[in-house]
């Protein structure tokens, strides 16, 4: 059954926006829901920007995939748009470095077509679901096709958003960092690992209130690293501590065993 352009576009926009918003909410909050034994770092502005960006992305894809009369055309256009968006994001994030920019462009030359293909099932399902919501068997109420489509996408958004939960080794690193800071602050005479002793004084003089963050992106580490991720056994991950008094500590942990590797201090927070 074919529907007018305005109706199918509005249906896709609303469904895509709902999926994107729900994904953003779950992905930005799941760690705070399930990890309660360490004080996780959060930035409300960043979280709001993530949710807003996810909502906008979903809404735009939902609009594009439903705008054309033919479904295949809509799926192709939406998939191409998604791939171009990812490519542009990669370029913008690496534009500060000529070397990284060329690496990104080289990588995109190989993965651009697979990216388009990867988005085809997502956009095809989005198009089909938007059509299901418009079924006229009961225009004013909630019929089974509408409930089924919304329930399916709600489940998928929550499921994919849940993948943002920190892995077990990340939680182990966060707990170790939390324990080291507490030991430095509450038992200053107790011996600490040599790697952390270099920054222990900062933790001792900083405020008792702090928050922790984890990432596998070693570029956030303030000091220059020459060999990170060069060998599997030496892959490193970063746990940072941000104190309410303004100080920051960054520690590298080995991905292989979760043990501390190196620590340094960072710029004070504004």
Task: Express as a percent the part of the chain with pLDDT over 90.
Answer: 50
- Name the residue ranges covered by the structural domains of the chain: 5-162, 168-265
Q: Look at residue 100 and tell me whether its pLDDT is greater than 80.
A: no
CA dihedral 108, 110, 113, 115 (to 10 degrees): -60
Higher-confidence position of 21 and 145: 21
Q: What is the pLDDT of residues 115-158, one digit of tens each?
A: 899 999 999 999 988 888 876 545 555 666 677 888 889 999 99
pLDDT for residue 227: 57
pLDDT for residue 61: 94
pLDDT for residue 258: 84
Look at the block and give the residue holding tokens 């993965």: 111
pLDDT for residue 270: 40
pLDDT for residue 266: 80
Give Cβ neighbours of residue 219 (< 8 Å, ≥ 6 apart): none
Q: Which long-range contacts (CB under 8 A, 24 or more apart) does 264-269 make?
A: 264/198, 264/199, 264/221, 264/222, 264/223, 265/199, 265/202, 265/222, 266/222, 266/240, 267/222, 269/242
Higher-confidence position of 137 and 241: 241
What does the alpha-carbon distance between residue 22 and residue 26 come to, in Å, rounded to a whole number? 6
Look at the block and give the residue holding tokens 């004013």: 140
How close are the terminal C-alpha atoms of the chain, in Å?
57
Higher-confidence position of 138 and 37: 37
pLDDT for residue 95: 74
Q: What is the pLDDT of residues 44-95, one digit of tens each?
A: 898 999 999 999 999 999 999 998 888 899 999 999 999 998 888 888 877 7
CB 55 within 8 A of CB 15: no
pLDDT band at 1 (very low <50, low <70, confident <90, very high): low
For the chain, give the mean pLDDT.
Answer: 86
Query: Among 199, 190, 196, 264, which residue's Cα sits nearest to residue 225?
Result: 264
Task: Express as a percent the part of the chain with pLDDT over 70.
Answer: 90
Query: What is the helix (H) or strand (E) element at residue 220, kind and residue range?
Result: none
């Amino acid at each position: 059954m074919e529907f007018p352009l305005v109706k199918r576009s509005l249906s896709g926009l609303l469904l895509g926006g709902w999926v994107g918003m729900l994904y953003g909410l779950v992905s930005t909050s799941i760690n705070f829901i399930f990890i309660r034994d360490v004080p996780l770092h959060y930035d409300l502005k960043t979280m709001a920007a993530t949710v807003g960006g996810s909502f906008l992305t979903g809404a735009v894809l939902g609009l594009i995939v439903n705008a054309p009369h033919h479904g295949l055309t809509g799926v192709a256009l939406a998939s191409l748009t998604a791939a171009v968006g990812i490519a542009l994001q990669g370029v913008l994030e690496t534009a500060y470095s000529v070397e990284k920019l060329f690496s990104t462009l080289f990588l995109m030359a190989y993965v651009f077509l697979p990216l388009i293909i990867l988005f085809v099932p997502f956009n095809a399902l989005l198009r089909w679901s938007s059509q299901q919501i418009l079924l006229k068997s009961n225009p004013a109420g909630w019929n089974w096709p509408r409930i089924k489509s919304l329930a399916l996408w709600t489940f998928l958004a929550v499921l994919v958003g849940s993948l943002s939960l920190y892995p077990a080794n990340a939680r182990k690193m966060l707990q170790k960092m939390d324990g080291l800071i507490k030991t430095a602050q509450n038992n200053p005479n107790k011996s600490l690992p040599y790697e952390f002793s270099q920054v222990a004084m900062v933790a001792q003089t900083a405020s008792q209130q702090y928050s922790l963050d984890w990432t596998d992106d070693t570029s956030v580490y303030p000091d220059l690293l020459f060999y990170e991720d060069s060998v599997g056994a030496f892959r490193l991950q970063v746990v940072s501590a941000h104190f309410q008094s303004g100080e920051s500590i960054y520690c590298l942990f080995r991905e292989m065993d979760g043990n501390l590797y190196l620590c340094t201090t960072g710029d004070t927070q504004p």
